[in-house]
Structure 1
Amino acid sequence: MATCPATDEADHLPIIDSHIHLYAASHIPRLNWTADLPSDHVLNRQNSVDEYRTATTRHAKYLKGFVFLETDRKSGLADTEWNDPLNEVDFLIRTARGTPLDGEGHRAEDSNVVLGIVPWAPVPAGREALADYLHQVRQRAGDKWLLIKGFRYLVQDKPAGTMVDPKFIEDLTWLGDHDLTFDLGIDARQGGLHQLEEACEMMDRLYEGRNTLRIIINHLCKPNLRIPAQEVTRHPDFVHWAQCIQRMARHKYTYMKLSGMFSELPMQSSDNPTDVTALLQQTKPWVDRVFEEFGLSRIMFGSDWPVCNVGGPGTAKSWNHWYDLVNTILTSRDCSEEDRAQIWAGSAAKAYNIT
C-alpha cells in the first residue's frame, strides 16, 4: 500500500459533492419514504443547506458546492401527480437565487453552492408527457435553467421490467438528444440482482442507437457490502455484480458515483466510528472493480448526505468520515494529485457540465 499523505495535504483540492439531498422540515410529509420512520430517525428532521454547511465545516474552504438529487417526493406519471416534484424544483431554484422562504434552512449567501440540480422526471411516461413536464421545469427555473443538469426517476423500488420498457428507453433517448443527464438509482442488495441485469440491458439498447446520454450511476448500485471481506470475491452476489459493472462500464457515456456505501455497510457508532482502514478493507474488492472498469475520468465523489448519516457515525461525523474513507481509498491506489482532482471534482464537472 502506498504511503498515505496527511489528510490536510489533500484538503487543498476543490471538491464538488455530486450527490446530496435537501429538504426542510415542512417538506417531510410529502416525501415517499418517511411515513414509516420513527420520530427520532436521523432522516426524520430538517436536512437543508444550514445543516449541510454544519456537516461540512471542516472542508468548507475547498467545497465548491453540490449537485442536488431529487428526494423521492410523492409523484406519479400522470400530470396530476407532478405537483410535489415541481415544488421541489421551486425550492432548489429559491436556494440558487438566494431567496428563501421562512424556515427553509437556507440563506441568501447560499446561492453559489448550488452547482447542479437533478430533479425527478416522469421518465417512463412517454416523450409527450416528458416534454410537457420539462417545459414546466424550464418555466419555473427561468434564468437558472442552466443549473438543471438532468433528471432522475428512481427505479430501485419499481416493478421488474421498468428499465427495459420501450417508453423508458425512448424517454432516455429524448433526454440525451437534449443534452441532459440521467441519474440511475438501483439497489442490488434490497431490490434484487435482476435490477443489475435490467440496467445492463437498458444501456445496451439505448447505446445501440448511438445516443450520447450521460448516465450517472448512483452508489455502486448498492451492492451487498455486508458480505465478510474474506468471502467477497467468491460470493455469487459479488461475481454477478462485478460482471454487470463491467458491462455497464463498457459504454463510454456512463459514470459511477463513489457514494452511498455507509447505508449498505454494518452500522457505525457515533462514539466509536469504524476505523477507515477497516472500512477500506471491507470495501476494497468492490471499489477496486469500479476503478478497474470505469477509470478515474468516470468516477466522482458524492457524499449521499444526509443518507450517509444512516449507517455512518452520526450527523456531526458522517460526512467527514466518508471524506476520510474516500481519501484513504485514493491513497491506497497511489493516486497522483491530478488523479485525485479528477475524483474530487473533475469527473462531476465533466458529467454534469459544471463550469
Structure 2
Amino acid sequence: MKYTIVDSHVHLYPESHLPTLAWHKPGNPIGGQYSIDQYRLAAKKVPTGDQKSDDGEPYTLRGFVYLEVDRKSSVNEADGGWKHVLDEVSFLARIINGEPTPGEGHKPEDSELCLGVVPWAPVPAGQETMQRYMTLVQERMGTEKAWRKVRGVRYLVQDKPAGTMLGDGFVESLKWLGREKLVFDLGVDARQGGLHQLREAVELCRRVYDGVKDDEKVVIVINHMCKPNHRVPYSGRESIISHPEFNEWKQYVSAMAAAGPTTYMKLSGQFTELPPLPAEPEPDYDSLAERLEPWTDVIFDAFGPARVMFGSDWPVCNTGGGGQSAWERWRQVVQRVLDRRGLTEEEKQGFWGKVAVTAYGLDADI
C-alpha cells in the first residue's frame, strides 16, 4: 500500500528573519535557518513526488501546509503591528511564485511543495479589520496562484489572556472566515497555558457554530492535540487514564469534536510535550507509541479517523525530538500509533494526506 503525506503543520523562516520572531532569544535551539532546503533534509527518507525511491519506500511526500511562525505583531495596524507578519506573507509568495531571494533557502522548483498557507491575522479585531488585513495579504501574494493557496489564518491564543477567544470580535471573525471558506487554526496549550484554555475553546466552538448554516460554519483545525500534559507521572496506561488532568483534557477535547463535523485535529507537536529525547541512540518507537496511546485513543474516539491528520510541527519538533532527525522520528512513532489503533488502509491514507486536503480545501490530487 502506498501513502501520500501532506504535512499539515510546517514553519519556515530564513536566518535573516530571526529578529522578527516574537519567541526568538539568544541560545534558541532552533535559532538558525529553517527553510525549504533544511525541511527537505529533515524529511529526506521520504521521496517527494518528483523523486524516485530505490528502497521500496511506501511513502511519498506531496507537500506541506505552512503555518504562521508567531512573528512580532499586534492587532492594531496603526502601531506597525502588521509589518513583520505581512513581510512573512511576502516570503511565502516568493516560495509559491518560484522567485527566491538569495539566502532564503528555497529554489524555484520548491514552489509545488507548498500546498497551502495559513498566515497570522488580527482575529480579535472583528470582521471589518479582518477584511482589510486579508486584502493586504492578497496584495502581498502577488499572483492568483499564490493567493489561492491562502487557506486560512491563525492567531495563537495559547499565550494570550483568559477571555481572548470569547471576545465579540473574535467570534465575529470566525463566523466571517466560515462565510469566506477560510480555515481557522486553533492553538491552545493544556500543559503550559492551563486547561482553562480548552474550556474556553469549547465555548468558542459553541458560539461560533450557534445559529450558523451548515455551509457557512468555519472549519476549525486544532493544533497539537491541544498540547496535553505528558509530564504527568507515567507507569503504564492505567496511570494516565486514572489521572484527573487526563480526564479533564479528554472531556474538553471530546466536546470540541462534538461541536460539529467541521472541527479537525492534528496529530502533531508531541515531542515538545513528552520528556525530551537525546540525539543518540534511536528511541524505542514502540514504547513511545504505547505511552501516547491513551491520549491518541481519545483523539480517534472523539474525532474519528476522517477528522485527524498528520503534522510534523517542523522545526519545533527538533527541540524535544532529538534534533535534525525529529521529523523522521515522529513519522516512525505515528506509524506505530496507527497500527496499534487498527486503522484500515483507507483510513491510514486519509490520515497521512486526504484529511488535510479536505479540511484545508487544498488543490492537490493524492
Question: TM-score band, normalised by the shorter chain?
Answer: over 0.9
CA distance in 1, matches of 2:101, 2:268: 30
Where does residue 32 of structure 1 map in the other structure?
22
1:22 alignment partner, one of 8, 12, 26 = 12
2:40 alignment partner, one of 53, 73, 87 = 53
1:266 alignment partner, one of 247, 268, 275 = 275
Where does residue 136 of structure 2 map in the other structure?
136
Alpha-carbon contact 2:219-2:359 (below 8 Å) kept: yes
Secondary structure of 1:116's partner?
Answer: strand
Where does residue 86 of structure 1 map in the other structure?
86
Normalising by the residue count of structure 2, what TM-score does the alignment of the two structures yield? 0.91
Secondary structure of 2:280's partner?
Answer: coil
Letter in 1 for 2:10: I
Alpha-carbon contact 2:126-2:168 (below 8 Å) kept: no
CA distance in 2, matches of 1:270, 1:204: 43
Deviations 1:247-301 (A, max 9, x none): 0001211000000000000010111232111101111100000000100110000
- Give unpaired runs (5+ residues) of structure 1: 1-8
Give the deviation of 1:225 after TM superposition: 1.1
Give the deviation of 1:310 after TM superposition: 1.1
Where does residue 220 of structure 1 map in the other structure?
225
1:73 alignment partner, one of 53, 68, 71 = 71
Where does residue 159 of structure 2 map in the other structure?
157
Secondary structure of 2:320's partner?
Answer: coil
CA distance in 1, matches of 2:253, 2:72: 30
Identity %: 47
CA distance in 2, matches of 1:281, 1:338: 23
Q: Structure 1 residues 229 and 18, CA, compared in 2 at 3 Å: closer, same or farther?
A: farther
CA distance in 2, matches of 1:139, 1:175: 18
Give the deviation of 1:229 after TM superposition: 4.7
CA distance in 2, matches of 1:203, 1:187: 16
CA distance in 2, matches of 1:334, 1:160: 39
Letter in 1 for 2:320: G
Deviations 1:139-193 (A, max 9, x none): 1123211100000000000000001111100111111110000000000000011
Which one is further off, 229-238 or 148-157?
Answer: 229-238
CA distance in 1, matches of 2:129, 2:282: 47
Give the deviation of 1:126 after TM superposition: 1.8
CA distance in 2, matches of 1:229, 1:148: 44
Alpha-carbon contact 1:229-1:281 (below 8 Å) kept: no
CA distance in 2, matches of 1:82, 1:122: 9
What value does the CA root-mean-square deviation take over the aligned residues?
A: 1.0
Letter in 2 for 1:302: G
Where does residue 284 of structure 2 map in the other structure?
275
Letter in 1 for 2:126: G
CA distance in 1, matches of 2:302, 2:283: 28
Secondary structure of 2:312's partner?
Answer: coil
Alpha-carbon contact 1:229-1:282 (below 8 Å) kept: no
Alpha-carbon contact 1:152-1:182 (below 8 Å) kept: yes
CA distance in 2, matches of 1:313, 1:25: 21
Where does residue 44 of structure 1 map in the other structure?
31
Letter in 2 for 1:269: P
CA distance in 1, matches of 2:282, 2:296: 20
Alpha-carbon contact 1:273-1:313 (below 8 Å) kept: no
Which one is further off, 281-290 or 224-233?
Answer: 224-233
Letter in 2 for 1:215: I
Give the deviation of 1:209 after TM superposition: 2.5
Secondary structure of 2:63's partner?
Answer: strand
Give the deviation of 1:60 after TM superposition: 2.0
Alignment of 1:206-245 (within 5 A): 206-210=208-212, 211-227=216-232, 228-230=234-236, 231-245=239-253
Deviations 1:219-242 (A, max 9, x none): 000010122153111111101100
Letter in 2 for 1:71: V
| Number of aligned residue pairs | 341
Where does residue 354 of structure 1 map in the other structure?
362
Alpha-carbon contact 2:290-2:337 (below 8 Å) kept: no
CA distance in 2, matches of 1:340, 1:276: 18
Where does residue 121 of structure 2 map in the other structure?
121
- The answer as to 2:197 corresponding to 1:195 is yes
Letter in 2 for 1:208: D
Secondary structure of 2:264's partner?
Answer: strand
Question: Runs in 1 of length 4+ with deviation above 6 angstroms?
Answer: none
Secondary structure of 1:335's partner?
Answer: coil
Alpha-carbon contact 2:277-2:322 (below 8 Å) kept: yes
- The answer as to 2:310 corresponding to 1:320 is no
CA distance in 2, matches of 1:326, 1:240: 24
Where does residue 172 of structure 1 map in the other structure?
174
CA distance in 1, matches of 2:114, 2:246: 36
Letter in 2 for 1:75: S
